[in-house]
Amino acid sequence: MRISVEMVCWTLLLFLTSSSPLCAQAGSDQDSQKSCRSFVQGFYDWYLKQTLNEKAGPASDLALKYKSSSFAPELLRRLKEDSAAQAKVSGEIVGLDFDPFLNAQDVGERYVVGKVTPKQGSYWVEVYGVWNGKKSQKPDVVPELIFKDRHWLFVNFHYGKSKYPENENLLSILRVLREDRRKQTN
C-alpha cells in the first residue's frame, strides 16, 4: 500500500490543528496567572497608600469608592452594606473590626504577591505583608479572583484555617455580621 503525499499532508495538518489548542491553553493559563499577579500587586500598591491617609476615612471604604470595578457584584454589595451599617452607629462596632483586604488592624511596610493558584475557575493569590524588612512566613491574606468581561474581579478574601470556620473568609464573616444585625433589630 502506497501512501500519497497528499494523505501525509492532511494527516500532519489534522495533527497540528488538534494539538495547538493544548499548547495555547497552557500558555494562556501562564499568561492568566501573570496578569492576575500583576493586577493584585497593583491593587495592593494602591491600597497601601490609601491606608496611610487617615483623614480620608477607612481605606476599605476608599477601595469601594474608587476601585469598585475591582470587586464582584456580590462582594461589593456586601461590603457596602457592612460599611453603611457601621456608619449608622457610633461608639459600637456592628461591622468589620479589621481591614478585610489586609486581614489586619495594623499595616505592613508593603505587601507582595506570592504564589497564584488556579482553583475551579478562579485564582487564589497569596499576599504577604512585609514587616521590619521581612516577609511574613505565611500569607496574610489570599484574595480569590475571577476573570470576567476582560478584567479581574475580587470575589472573596481568604484568611486561613480557624477554630471558627465562619472566620475563614470575608463573605462568610460579612454574612454572620449581617445576620447578627438582623437579630438585634428584631
For position 75, which CATH number holds? 3.10.450.50
DSSP 134: E
**Which pLDDT does position 6 carry in this prediction?**
57
Q: Mean per-residue pLDDT for 124-147?
A: 98
| CA separation for the pair 123, 22 (Å, rounded) | 20
Quote the pLDDT of residue 108: 96
Distance CA 88, CA 54 (A): 20
In a domain, 9, yes or no: no
Query: What is the distance between the terminal CA atoms of the chain, rounded to a whole angstrom?
Result: 86
Domain assignment present for residue 15? The answer is: no
Q: What is the mean pLDDT of residues 14-20?
A: 37
Name the residue range of residue 97's domain: 28-185
* In a domain? residue 147: yes
Check residue 126 and give its pLDDT: 98
pTM: predicted TM-score of the whole model, two decimal places: 0.82
Give domain status of residue 101, yes or no.
yes
For 75-104, write each residue's pLDDT tens digit. Answer: 999 999 999 999 888 777 789 999 999 999
Residue with grid cell 468581561, as numbered in its chain: 149
> Does the residue 20 lie in any domain?
no
Q: Give the chain's length.
A: 186
Nearest CA to 145 out of 59, 60, 45, 36 is that of 36
The reply to whether 12 falls in a domain is no
The tally of domains found in the chain comes to: 1
Is residue 115 scored above 80 in pLDDT? yes
- Other residues' Cβ atoms within 10 Å of the Cβ of residue 3: 8
Residue 154 lies in a domain: yes
Sign of the four-CA dihedral 95, 125, 46, 54: positive
